[in-house]
Structure 1
């Protein structure tokens, strides 16, 4: 007999609840009962609250009420579809938040964030996310993963080792690869100076990745003093943007020059103005314009921060359609290059897994990961929305708590 299922459900702006759900089946009801014989059912061991989820919960997207949330999933395989060959029951696995078929041109070219076959509306899909294909979210006791042989990253270590490192390994589904992607595509390497915009979990994961890549100096900018303190705790320089509007001047005080080699936007479309005057209101293009200002000529900008095509809660009409007031001429004049879009998690997750298993990186500590029971998800969302310097891991079966 199947176990019972519960999950986190978006009820409308500002409200999530934990509800009883149907036990998963290997089909996608939102796509006419599409069969998923290539999929598996996971017992979810860890599933995280993400800033991207928070955008939906704030009402800043067109997400429908009743959507089961969650795209950061780590679990144990408990049921196999008929066509699954290489994944086995009992395997402990990480799930990339991108859903990918492994068969289309983009997947074959490792652009798994824009798979052509898993979303009827446009390229790219994710679990429990608005306009991303109708796939059920993973903030639940059990979840379905399609194309399992392709999508799942099996942990090679023994079970005890995996469970002991579960808080770190839980970051492989999204924020560590996403932060690494932002840093890597911006050109961060040995000796680089880097500015990371945003000290939320993705920003802190990005700063962690910058240090892993060999950056000499990582400067993190934010308005949240607790999050900035978290960044300083593992070796970053910081700029309090609620006090300082002139970011180049602050960078010059740190580096001796008002520019960095590379910059990463880990904020996205809900950016606020800098300084005491600007911090109260949204200015969606603030971060991108600042990064063009402070990045050296011929430098790179990584942009893993989320931007949307429809933002019904935006402060101005153009921003509601995803149109931002960018100083693009400045970027052009400085020969900047920009890399945007979803992180293709499978480009990075295996090597980052090995860095975790062999103690080369401690991302859970750096992002202040904290496990809470699934039923406390509404409180976790509320605390995160108030700016908690914490990455909340939902723990449906007590596995993360046991590891801690």
Structure 2
């Protein structure tokens, strides 16, 4: 039996690479596994040899201790791999296939899945609709920042790359299909971006940069990205975005006016989420409703707000008791008065990943360049977490088996 190593959350601020159980086609008991999921048979699943697996900002929320994630949780929901074992019920996916794994786990059988809402599958998480690999309160499915991982419902979920050699040449782009590229794209689609739109993106982390690139692909005339870290803003400028340093400027509308000659945009995207901070002189203080309120301020009446940024129902490190349970001081009256449309929640990855794959393979999408994809080994994952938490403008891609050409 082969071994297996993985990135494991141990305590707030720390992850370790540890030996874990080699996967089989059963969901075993372990940290974070819902008791109702223990022993769940997955003959519809496959075992993957991980080719690439990415560190996500959502992982960082757990590592910072801002969720109820248990010690020992195996991290990682952004997974690309080679099929090395198939369950008896798998008909179409074959050994040797190179595939992208949507981070949402979806059965393909429930009402939500049949309506293409695979982000709120009703059968994979006993706590509530929606699930993901290696994530708190998501059913306990083992994460994929590892050498090997089990993926259920393979025929329904997996996106097979049509040519393995071509895929490996573009693997730094294709690895983004499991989450951040569809998530950024969903943010832009939800915000109603269309040819000629002016767009504000809050946050220049990987999802924000993916949203900005997606807005460009959708035909936006101007994409403005706001952040407090100059290195990340420089990355946004590297592919044609305008930028606003929110640490230096408190009045976002004035900054947008200097760029557009108008203080409002057509639509906006929140790629920050619940760990937002104040702007300008208040940038040293956490203020979780800041982004939501600011994008309502600067989005025109009748505009749409795409909100792929993560908001949680349990945040032990929040600034007050209300925020600890996800209750934020949002100016809903302003949004009502301006007739805004809000779109929130996980991204239904399967709604977008095939089209985005074709955009990558054709050369139209350059997502790895946009997010500054940076390869690291599995052993270097803890340092990658530390560097990413410090604000590095990089999307860390873990290569557990040294399968990717580093040149």
CA distance in 1, matches of 2:389, 2:311: 18
Within the alignment, does 1:155 sit opposite 2:130 as a pair? no
Is 45-54 or 24-33 further displaced after alignment? 24-33
- What are the ranges of 5 or more consecutive residues in structure 2 without an aligned counterpart? 30-36
Query: Structure 1 runs of 4+ off > 4 angstroms?
Result: none
* 1:9-46 C-alpha deviation (Å, 9 max, x unpaired): 00010010000111101001132311100000000000
Aligned to 1:125: 131
CA distance in 2, matches of 1:247, 1:335: 20
**Number of aligned residues:** 400
List aligned pairs for 1:98-177, cutoff 5 A.
Answer: 98-156=104-162, 158-177=163-182
* 1:137-193 C-alpha deviation (Å, 9 max, x unpaired): 00000001000000100011x221110100000000000000000000110010000
CA distance in 1, matches of 2:221, 2:13: 41
* 1:351-384 C-alpha deviation (Å, 9 max, x unpaired): 0000000000111011000000001110000000
CA distance in 2, matches of 1:32, 1:303: 33
Within the alignment, does 1:362 sit opposite 2:366 as a pair? yes
Aligned to 1:294: 298
What's the secondary structure of 1:375's corresponding residue? Answer: coil
* 1:210-229 C-alpha deviation (Å, 9 max, x unpaired): 00000000000000000000
What's the secondary structure of 1:196's corresponding residue? Answer: strand
What's the secondary structure of 2:82's corresponding residue? Answer: strand
| Residue 5 (structure 1) shift | 0.7
List aligned pairs for 1:385-400, cutoff 5 A.
Answer: 385-400=389-404
What's the secondary structure of 2:392's corresponding residue? Answer: coil
CA distance in 2, matches of 1:336, 1:194: 15
CA distance in 1, matches of 2:135, 2:232: 26
Aligned to 1:85: 91
Does structure 1 retain, via aligned residues, the 8 Å contact 2:375–2:406?
A: no
What's the secondary structure of 1:399's corresponding residue? Answer: coil
CA distance in 1, matches of 2:251, 2:13: 33
CA distance in 1, matches of 2:38, 2:283: 46
Does structure 1 retain, via aligned residues, the 8 Å contact 2:212–2:223?
A: yes
| Residue 70 (structure 1) shift | 0.2
Pairwise CA RMSD of aligned residues? Answer: 0.7
Does structure 2 retain, via aligned residues, the 8 Å contact 1:201–1:391?
A: yes
Aligned to 2:271: 266
List aligned pairs for 1:271-290, cutoff 5 A.
Answer: 271-275=276-280, 277-290=281-294
What's the secondary structure of 1:307's corresponding residue? Answer: coil
| Residue 92 (structure 1) shift | 0.3
* 1:288-344 C-alpha deviation (Å, 9 max, x unpaired): 000000000000000000000000000111100100000100000000000000000
CA distance in 2, matches of 1:349, 1:397: 25
CA distance in 2, matches of 1:159, 1:60: 39
Does structure 2 retain, via aligned residues, the 8 Å contact 1:163–1:403?
A: no
- What are the ranges of 5 or more consecutive residues in structure 1 without an aligned counterpart? none
Aligned to 1:326: 330
TM-score calculated relative to the size of structure 1: 0.98
Aligned to 1:181: 186
Does structure 2 retain, via aligned residues, the 8 Å contact 1:165–1:403?
A: no
Within the alignment, does 1:196 sit opposite 2:178 as a pair? no
Within the alignment, does 1:4 sit opposite 2:3 as a pair? yes
Within the alignment, does 1:22 sit opposite 2:21 as a pair? yes
CA distance in 2, matches of 1:230, 1:3: 40
| Residue 403 (structure 1) shift | 5.7
CA distance in 2, matches of 1:279, 1:150: 44
CA distance in 2, matches of 1:326, 1:274: 16
Within the alignment, does 1:347 sit opposite 2:351 as a pair? yes
CA distance in 2, matches of 1:32, 1:272: 39
* 1:228-252 C-alpha deviation (Å, 9 max, x unpaired): 0000000000000000000000000
Does structure 1 retain, via aligned residues, the 8 Å contact 2:277–2:288?
A: yes
